[in-house]
Amino acid sequence: MSLQNPIFIPGPTNMPEVLRRACDLPTIDHRSAAFPTLLAAARSGVQSVLKSTSAQVFIFPATGTGGWETALANTLRPGDAVLAVRNGMFSHKWIKMCRDFGLEVVMTEVPWGEGFPVDWAQEQLEADKDHKIKAVLVTHNETATGVRSDVAAVRSAIDAAGHPALFFVDGVSSIGSMEFKFDDWDVDVAVTGSQKGFMLPAGLGITAFSDKAMRATDQAGLPRGYFNIQDMAASYAAGGYPYTPAYGLLNGLKEACDMLLDEGLDAVFTRHSRIANGVRAAVQAWGLEICAAHPDLYSETVTAIRTPARFDAGRVVAHAEAAYGVSFGAGLGDVAGKVFRIGHLGSLTDVMTLSGIATAEMTLVDLGLDITLGAGVAAAQNVYRQGKTTTFLEAAE
């Protein structure tokens, strides 16, 4: 790939130069007086992006996978049951982690392309009279399929069932790019990472705990050492960190939150929605299908595109990189070889996205698919011409 071209994978995402510079710091003493101010600013910024006034934010040198472990290990006990749905690669991996911890998983599988089945969840919770289910796990935005599940509806189902289960949400590829309402949705643990909506390198696992989840840490019985938030909270209270922090990334996170909040969260979400609509218009013009089963499920951060039967979608990814120096996302798990993915989140504009659509279109034509060169680009242009583009360069100035 060419480092001059934007990337169109669903993370890590393109990094604005201002954030690259923010991460590029000389070595400092993390026990100096400067560190508590930086840590507090980064935590406060994440809290604001989550639209919360109460969430306790914990930031680990890790990734979103570390965030999953943080949620489980700090709140649950061996043998506890969790309720989950396998509808993509990342829900699949979180379920595997639960089983690795010895948790019982009350699970259903739905076709990859479908969202979280809210009615099924409510039925399971209503039937759980002894409250053996201790947590409900939802992948807000399934990166492998480009499917967004309705987090607010799942919360309503938990409430309708009158069930006391904790509510865990994987927001790794949604937070910072799609609307997320930690307080209004009554989320107990939210998980994300630095390398997607926050436009930073991979390296930070970011979690947010509700008061209810914090109380659960007192009874938790799963192994926890590195990801122990009680140790983290105690260090935070003293203005420190329980081990060596990723100081440069924390400074980048503070700046990233400032950028998102300066642009305005509603404007950020509108920009992502518009860009996604342009990509979907291009897919329609190509005559291809989107993996997400219906429009209510469409992600604003990644579109998984089905290729024709007996056509290996991996060829699209390989050819785009070899011929044009541009990266797209490959299909994963159950949809490997069946879809390729266009990531459209983070530091992207309409104009940047047009370059990705044009590259995908050239690649599809090169590989012999019956597509008219320029059709997808024109369809996206018609979407983007309807509104002014707010760029990250404008937001950063």
Mean residue pLDDT of the chain comes to: 95
CA distance 162 to 159: 5
CB atoms near residue 3 (< 10 Å):
6
Percent of the chain clearing pLDDT 90 (strictly above): 93
Residue 136: its pLDDT value, please? Answer: 98
> What average pLDDT does range 73-86 have in this prediction?
97
Residue 266: its pLDDT value, please? Answer: 97
Rg (CA), the chain: 21
| pLDDT category of residue 395 using cuts at 50, 70 and 90 | very low
179, pLDDT greater than 90: yes
Residue 394: its pLDDT value, please? Answer: 40
| pLDDT category of residue 34 using cuts at 50, 70 and 90 | confident
Residue 391: its pLDDT value, please? Answer: 37
Q: Which residue from 175, 195, 147, 149 is spatially nearest to 57, judged by alpha carbons?
A: 175
Burial class (CB in 10 A: 0-12, 13-18, 19+), 280: buried
**Beta strand residue intervals within the chain, DSSP E:** 56-61, 81-86, 104-109, 133-139, 141-142, 147-148, 166-170, 189-193, 204-209, 289-290, 302-306, 329-330, 339-343
pLDDT tens figures, 230-258: 999 999 999 899 999 999 999 999 999 99
> What average pLDDT does range 285-297 have in this prediction?
97
Residue 1: its pLDDT value, please? Answer: 61
Give the CATH number of domain 265-396; options: 3.90.1310.10, 3.20.20.70, 3.40.50.300, 3.90.1150.10: 3.90.1150.10
Q: Could you tell me the residue ranges of all domains in the chain?
A: 17-262, 265-396
Residue 389: its pLDDT value, please? Answer: 41
387, pLDDT greater than 70: no
Residue 158: its pLDDT value, please? Answer: 98
| pLDDT category of residue 29 using cuts at 50, 70 and 90 | confident
User: Do residues 278 and 383 lie in contact, with contact meaning Cβ atoms separated by under 8 Å?
Assistant: yes
pTM (2 d.p.): 0.94
User: Do residues 206 and 169 lie in contact, with contact meaning Cβ atoms separated by under 8 Å?
Assistant: no
> What average pLDDT does range 258-275 have in this prediction?
98
CA distance 292 to 71: 27
Degrees (nearest 5) of the Cα angle 31, 46, 292?
A: 140
pLDDT tens figures, 94-130: 999 999 999 999 999 999 999 999 999 999 999 999 9
Taking domain 17-262, whether its CATH number is 3.50.50.60 is answered by: no
